[in-house]
Amino acid sequence: MSPSEKPVPPVGEEIHLPGPSLQPLLLTVGITVALVGVTTSLVLVIAGGILALVVLVRWIQDARRELDSLPVESKHH
């Protein structure tokens, strides 16, 4: 194998895909509300910012939890 080729997983090894989630949509809504609030109301900036921050923190926590649940040999650091 040449140095430019990436190792291929063994036959039968499953590729991990995350499950469906509303977090990307909620993060987008939070950012959008905050940006609309910049031109209309400070209340919208605060509400959108809080929503975006909460969703982002939860999303990171979920991703870490999911990564920790994977088998050790599949973790690529």
Cα dihedral 46→48→54→55 (10° resolution):
-170
Residue span of the structural domain in which 29 resides: 23-69
Residue at 75 is within a domain: no
Residue at 8 is within a domain: no
- Residue 45 neighbours by CB distance under 10 Å: 17
Return the pLDDT at 47: 98
pLDDT profile of the chain (77 residues), mean per 10: 68 73 96 97 97 96 86 60
Return the pLDDT at 19: 80
If one counts the domains in the chain, the total is 1
Return the pLDDT at 34: 97
pTM beyond 0.85: no
Return the pLDDT at 48: 97
Collapsed DSSP state (helix, strand, coil) of residue 21: coil
Burial of 56 from C-beta contacts in 10 A (0-12 / 13-18 / 19+) = middle
Return the pLDDT at 41: 96
